[in-house]
Amino acid sequence: MTYEHFVSAQSVFLWSTFAIAVIMGAVVNKTNFCTMGAVSDWINMGDTGRLRAWILAIAIGVLGVTALEAAGLVNLSGTFPPYRQNSFVWLENVLGGAAFGVGMTLASGCANKTLIRVGGGNLKSIMVLLVIGVVAYFMVNPFPDSDKTLYSTLFYPWTHPAAVALTTNQDLGAMLFGDRVATGRLVMGVIIGILLLAWAFKSADFRGSFDNILGGVVVGLVVLVAWYVTSNIRMNADGDILSLQAYVQDWDLYAPADAVRPAAAGPLASQSFTFINPMGQALGYAAKGFNHTFLTFGIMALAGVVTGSLLWSLISRSFRIEWFASVRDFFSHLVGAILMGFGGVLAMGCTIGQGITGFSTLALGSILTFAAIVFGSATTMKLQYYMMMRGE
Concatenate the DSSP letters of all residues of 151-191 into one string: HHHHTHHHHGGG-EE-SS-SBHHHHHHTT-HHHHHHHHHHH
Instruction: Give yes or no for a contact between 214 and 55, defined as CB atoms under 8 angstroms apart.
Output: no
pLDDT at 392: 57
Q: Please state, in angstroms and rounded to a whole number, the distance separating the CA atoms of residues 234 and 96.
A: 34
Question: In terms of residue numbers, what domain contains 335?
Answer: 2-391
Q: How far apart are CA 171 and CA 360, in angstroms?
A: 10
Which candidate, 263, 259, 256, places its Cα nearest to that of 290? Answer: 263
Could you tell me what percentage of the chain is helix, strand and coil, using 3-state DSSP and rounding each to the nearest 5? 70, 5, 25
What are phi and psi for residue 167, nearest 5 degrees? -85, -10
Can you list the residues of the chain whose pLDDT is less than 50? Answer: none
CA 327 to chain centre: 30
Parallel, antiparallel or unpaired: strands 2-3 and 87-88: unpaired
- pLDDT of 384 reads 85
Give the global pTM: 0.94
Distance, CA of 76 to CA of 373 (rounded, Å): 24
Angstrom distance (rounded) from CA 302 to CA 41:
26
In angstroms, the CA 89 to CA 372 distance is 13
- Spell out a b/e string for 260-293, using b for 16 or more CB atoms within 10 Å of the CB, else e: eebbebbbbbbbbbbbbbbbbbbbbbeeeeeeee
What does the longest C-alpha to C-alpha distance in the chain come to? 73
Q: In total, how many domains does the chain have?
A: 1
Give the separation between CA 137 and CA 341, rounded to whole angstroms: 9
Asked if residue 63 lies in contact with residue 190, where contact means CB atoms within 8 angstroms, the answer is: yes
pLDDT at 279: 97
Q: Is 348 left (phi over 0), alpha (psi -120 to 50) or beta?
A: left
The DSSP bridge partners found for residue 242 are 235
With beta carbons less than 8 A apart as the criterion, state whether 312 and 25 touch. Answer: yes
The single-letter code of the amino acid at 323 is W
Element (H, E) at 242: strand 240-243
Counted residue by residue, the chain has a size of 392
Identity at 134, one-letter amino acid code: V
What pairing do the DSSP bridges indicate for beta strands 234-237 and 2-3?
parallel
